[in-house]
Amino acid sequence: MKSKDRQGNVVSANEGQDKVIQALYGTAAGRQALKVLTNPLVSRLGGRFFDSRASVPLVSPFIDRNHIDMEQYEEEDYESYNHFFTRRVREGEREFSMEPQVLCAPCDSKLTVIPITREGTFAVKNTIYTMDSLLRSERLAGKYQGGTLLIFRLTVDDYHHYCYVDGGKKTRNYHIPGVLHTVNPAANEEYPIYTENAREFSILQSEHFGKVLMMEVGALMVGRIVNHHEEKEVSRGMEKGYFEYGGSTVILAFQPGQVVLHQDILANMADGFETVVRMGEAIGRKRER
């Protein structure tokens, strides 16, 4: 999906990243490569490389290729690619509104808004889900029917930390492991690869937006979710965690009657566009009763 900024301007897509994804999923050679790249041993070796000094030469070309404004970030002598990838913004960047009724974006991303219905489907990381299949829980999914799903798609050039959108009490984290297989168990090279990325979710009993379901979806291959807290009282704008190694996704689900999104975001969705948002930016409000 193409993206627009908050002023309505079409934003150029990360075409290099898109081409890699298309090659992996859409060609016989790519599907064979996926089987190798998602092997746990290969993923561990890849992680070790990205954590090593040997990966430092990747940093400068990555910054140039993705036009990353490093003035936003703390000055560091990066010791690995992953050290760079998990870099932190300078103090004063990405500040949250403390107005109780305002809903802020939890991360830098491209935002999609989906109404939640029992049979409704949506795409996350090149996989089509229903709420039941996303959560692997029909009972839990049912609690959000008629509500609103926000999908925050992070690309490799985004800031990869994410925050709580409100204060309240969160549950422990529930982990869903990723899977990789062909659509048909007897499939040959003409059939596509079907993936479910590893994901983790918890529920926030929030002060202003009801029971918010918060989910993080890891990147394919070496991507990793790092959440800081298990069951805990949290505050608005507190860092919840970050992603390592690769582009990932944050998902928020709200129960019916809790939030209303800003009109520019809804208009972009109606025209088939995601909306580029930044952590702490106002994207909606508590729905008035």
Active site residues: 108, 248
Integer CA distances (angstroms), 180 to 10, 31, 184, 283, in order = 34, 10, 12, 34
Contact 141, 131 (CB under 8 A): yes
CB environment 115-152: b (16+ within 10 A), e (fewer)? ebeeeeebebbebebbbeebbeeeebbebbeebbbbbb
Place of tokens 């041993």: 41
In 100-210, DSSP assigns E strands to 102-104, 109-115, 122-124, 127-129, 148-153, 161-163, 168-170, 174-176, 179-182, 193-196, 199-206
Contact 226, 173 (CB under 8 A): no
In sequence order, what are the beta bridge partners of 111?
152, 275
Q: Is the dihedral of CA 213, 149, 240, 45 positive or negative?
A: positive
Contacts of 82 (CB under 8 A, 6+ apart): 47, 50, 51, 55, 244, 245
